[in-house]
Amino acid sequence: MSLIKLFLKIFTSTVILLLIYLPIALVILFSFNDSIYFIFPFKNFTFKWYERLLEDPLFLKSIINSIIIALAVSAGSLSIGIPASFAFVRLRRNTLYVGFIMIPFIMPWLVIGVSSLVFFHTLGIPLSILTTVLSHIIYSIPLVVLIVAARLISLNPNYEKASMDLGANEVQTFTYVTFPLIYPAISVSALITFLWSFDNFIITFFTIGSEITFPIWVWGSLRHPTNVPVITAASSIVILVGSLIVYLMETYRVKKGIGIYAII
Amino acid sequence: MVLLELVNIYKYYGKITALEDINLEVGKGELLTILGPSGSGKSTLLKIIGGFEEPSRGKIYINGKLMNGVPPYARPTSMVFQDLALFPHLNVFNNIAYGLKIKKAPSNEIKKKVREVAELLHIEELLDRRVTQLSGGQQQRVALARSLILEPEILLLDEPLGPLDVKLRKEMQLELRRIQKRLNSTWIYVTHDHEEAMVMSDRVAILNSGRIIDVGVVKEIYEKPKNRFIAEFLGEVNIIECIVDHVEGSAFTASSGDLRIEGLTAGKLEKGDRVNILVRPEKIGITVTPLNDRKNSVSGKVVEIIYKGAYSDVKIETEDSRVFIARTFEPAYRVGERVFLKWDREDAVVIKE
Ligand SMILES: Nc1ncnc2c1ncn2[C@@H]1O[C@H](COP(=O)(O)OP(=O)(O)O)[C@@H](O)[C@H]1O
Ligand SMILES: [Mg+2]
C-alpha cells in the first residue's frame, strides 16, 4: 500500500517536473544565453535578449492588446454565461438547449476561426480587436456555463428558501446568499476565460486583421531566426508574471480557507 | 383564538396527490404536531403554510388574512428546514442575525437580540464559529435561533431532530417544549415518530396518504384511537377480532374462539356485531399463577422477551396460536415459561369493523 503511494508520489512529481517545468526552466535558462541556437554547452550570460525585447514596440502593444481582449472576453462571457447557467439549472426542462450551447466547445478552434472570418467578411465588418473579442466570447460561454452550472446544480435550494423565509426578497436573496455561494465558481470562470483568451492563437489569427496580440507577436517573431531568443525572454516574463499572480491568488485562497472543493 | 386556518387544501404533483382535503385550525400559543409516516405529505403541508408551495386548491388564512399567493418573506411564518439550511458562508452570529439585517435593524439592537436568543438556546460561546464546525445538535440550535429571533407568528419545524442520536433527541424534545411554552409562541411540528409527538404536542394531527385522519389531544387519540391504523401507528397494540354476544347498557361481552371478553362502549353495539378489541401492552398484567376469572384473560408460553431499557416487551403465544405482547418493568420471565395475562375491561378499546 505505502509502496504504491510512494510510487505514485514519485511518478506524479517526476511527470510534473519533467513534462511541465523542465521545458519552462529551459526556456528561462536560454533566455540568458548569448546564442541564437538552443544547444548546450551554455555560452555567455547575457541580458541582451531582454534589451532587444523592450526595444520592440510591438511586444508591449501585443501584451496590452491581449490583456484588453482577455478582459473583454472574460466580462462578456460571464455576463452571458451566468444568466444562461441559471436558466439551464432552474428551468430544468430545457435540457436540449444545454447541448446547443456546448457546440462551440466541441468544434475545432480552426473551424470557429475560419467561420468567424467568413461571417464577418460576409457582413462586411472589418476585422479588428472587436471581432476577435466576439469570436472568443462564443468559445468561452460554454466554459462559464460548465463551471457555474455545476456549482448551481450542487447548491442546496433550501439556502435560498431559508433566505426568503427570513424576510429577504428575490434580489436580496441573490445578493446575500446565492452570489456569495457561487462566487468561487464565478471567479474561477473569470480566470479561465481570461487565460484562455490570452493564450488563444488560432481564432485570433483569423479574426484580428492587422492588429497584434501576444501569441500573434510570438508567431511573427518565429519567422526571423535571429529573433527567436527574444521570444524566450518574452516567454520568461509572461511565465514569471503569471506565476506571481497564481501565487498571490493561492495565498489568498488558503488564507480564506477556501478548499479546492469549494471551487466547483 | 384561531391563528392559522387551512380550508379544503389539495396539492397535486402531476398525477400524485400529495394532500387531499386538508382542514385544520391552529390556535395561538399552541404546539400542534403533524404526525405521519414518510411520504404522507407532512413536508408538503408545511411548505404550503410557509409559502414555498402554492396549494392546487383551498385557502390558507393567518390571523384571518388570506395567504394564498403571498411569498414566504411576506408571511408571518418561519421554517426550520429538515436539512436546517444554515448559510455555509456565514458564521453563527451572521446566520442568526440574517433576518434582522435584511430588515435593516440598527446594529446594537441586532447584537442585543442575537445575544438574547443565543442565551435562550445556550449557544453564546458559538457565535464566532463557522456553521460547518458545529455538531448536529449545535446546528439545530442555530437554525432555531435564526428563526426565533424574528418572533414569527407561526414557527414551522420539519422533523428538526431527525439526524440526532436518541439521547440528544430526547433532551432536545424537552428543551424545545420548554422554549415553546416560555415564549408562548405557536409551533407546528412535523415528525414521523409517535413518541416524539406525544412528548411535544398539545394536539396532534395524524396524516396518512395526504389526508388528516384524526386531530386531537394526543393522550385521547392514543387511548381512544378511532381506527386500527391510528392505533397501530401510535405504537404496539394487541388486537382481538371478535363477535358481540350480549349487550347491556354500555357493557358488553364478546367472544373470539375460546376467549371471553368483557368491555365497555360509548357507541351502539348489537349482538352479532364484529368488533376489534384493542389493548395496549402496558395495560396487560402478567402473572405465573393461574387466574380464577377466565374473562379478559389468556394463557400461553413466553416466546420472546424484547429488552427495551426501562421496560421489556414479553411476547406470548397461546395454544390456539394467538400472539400477545405485554409490557413489564420486572422481566422475571423465561422463554418457554407458561404465563397468564389479564386486563381490565376499562382498558380495552372497542372499534366496530
Ligand atoms: N416537488 C415534488 N414533485 C413531485 N412529487 C412530490 C414533490 N414533493 C413531494 N412530492 C410527493 O408528495 C408526497 C408527499 O411528500 P412529502 O410531503 O415530502 O412527505 P413527508 O414529508 O411526509 O415524507 C410524496 O409522495 C412525494 O413523493
Ligand atoms: Mg418530509
**Residue among A155, A165, A178 with most chain B CBs within 10 A, to mutate:** A165
Q: CA–CA distance from A165 to each of A226, B75, B98 (Å)?
A: 69, 8, 11
Ligand 1 atom closest to the Cα of residue B53 is 1
> DSSP letter string over A147-191?
HHHHHHHHS-HHHHHHHHHTT--HHHHIIIIIHHHHHHHHHHHHH
| Contact assignment for B73 to A177 by CB distance below 8 Å | no
Check residue A16 and give its pLDDT.
76
Q: What is the pLDDT of residues A6-65, one digit of tens each?
A: 888 888 788 877 887 888 888 888 888 877 777 777 777 888 888 888 888 888 899 999
Q: What is the pLDDT of residues A220-240, one digit of tens each?
A: 888 887 788 888 898 899 888
Give percent of chain A above pLDDT 70: 93
For the CA of B162, the nearest ligand: 2
The beta-carbon neighbor of A167 closest among B83, B85, B103 is B103
Residue B113 one-letter amino acid = K
Judge whether B88 is closer than 8 Å to chain A, CB to CB.
yes
Instruction: Determine the distance separating the centroid of ligand 2 and the alpha carbon of B19, expressed in angstroms.
Output: 13
| Contact assignment for A158 to B99 by CB distance below 8 Å | no
Q: What is the pLDDT of residues B33-74, one digit of tens each?
A: 999 999 999 999 999 999 999 999 999 999 999 999 999 999
Nearest CA in chain A to B78: A165
Instruction: Determine the distance separating the centroid of ligand 1 and the alpha carbon of A84, expressed in angstroms.
Output: 29
User: What pairing do the DSSP bridges indicate for beta strands B16-27 and B2-13?
Assistant: antiparallel
Query: What phi, psi does B316 have (nearest 5°)?
Result: -125, 135
Residue B16 backbone class (left: φ over 0; alpha: ψ -120 to 50; beta: rest): beta
Assess whether the C-beta atom of B44 lies below 6 angstroms from ligand 1: yes
User: What pairing do the DSSP bridges indicate for beta strands B2-13 and B186-191?
Assistant: unpaired
Q: Return residues 159-188 of A near B (CB < 8 Å).
A: 159, 161-169, 172, 176-177, 180-181
Residue-wise burial string across A54-75, b where 16 or more C-beta atoms lie within 10 A, e elsewhere: eeeeebeebbebbeebbbbbbe
Check residue B310 and give its pLDDT.
81
A172: which residues sit within 8 A by CB, 6+ positions away?
Answer: A163, B102
Cα separation, B227 vs B221, in Å, equals 10
Q: CA–CA distance from B204 to each of B35, B214, B280 (Å)?
A: 7, 8, 19
Judge whether A155 is closer than 8 Å to chain B, CB to CB.
no
Cα separation, B12 vs A35, in Å, equals 79
Ligand 1 atom closest to the Cα of residue B47 is 17
Cα separation, B7 vs B66, in Å, equals 11
Does the interface ipTM go beyond 0.90?
A: no
Instruction: Determine the distance separating the centroid of ligand 1 and the alpha carbon of A203, expressed in angstroms.
Output: 50
Q: CA–CA distance from A160 to each of A175, B49, B145, B157, B333 (Å)?
A: 11, 17, 18, 17, 57
Q: What is the pLDDT of residues A91-146, one digit of tens each?
A: 765 566 667 777 777 888 889 899 999 999 999 889 899 999 999 998 899 889 88
Instruction: Determine the distance separating the centroid of ligand 2 and the alpha carbon of B42, expressed in angstroms.
Output: 6
Nearest CA in chain A to B89: A181
Residues of chain B with pLDDT under 70: 331
Q: Identify the helix (H) or strand (E) that includes residue B180.
A: helix B166-183
Check residue B167 and give its pLDDT.
84
Q: CA–CA distance from B335 to each of A27, A71, B304, B332, B339 (Å)?
A: 85, 81, 6, 10, 10
Check residue A95 and give its pLDDT.
63
Residue B125 buriedness (CB in 10 A; 0-12 / 13-18 / 19+): exposed
| Contact assignment for A166 to B150 by CB distance below 8 Å | yes
Residue B104 one-letter amino acid = K
User: What pairing do the DSSP bridges indicate for beta strands B274-279 and B238-248?
Assistant: antiparallel
Full strand arrangement of the beta sheet holding B312-318: B285-287, B338-342, B297-307, B312-318, B323-328
Indicate the CATH number for domain A48-262: 1.10.3720.10
Rounded to an integer, the average pLDDT of A169-180 is 92
Helix axes A22-30, A228-256, angle to 10 degrees: 130
Judge whether A261 is closer than 8 Å to chain B, CB to CB.
no
Which position has the grid cell 452570489?
A: A179
Check residue A6 and give its pLDDT.
84
Query: What phi, psi does B103 have (nearest 5°)?
Result: -75, -5
Ligand 1 atom closest to the Cα of residue B37 is 22
What is the band of A262 on the pLDDT scale with cuts at 50, 70, 90?
very low
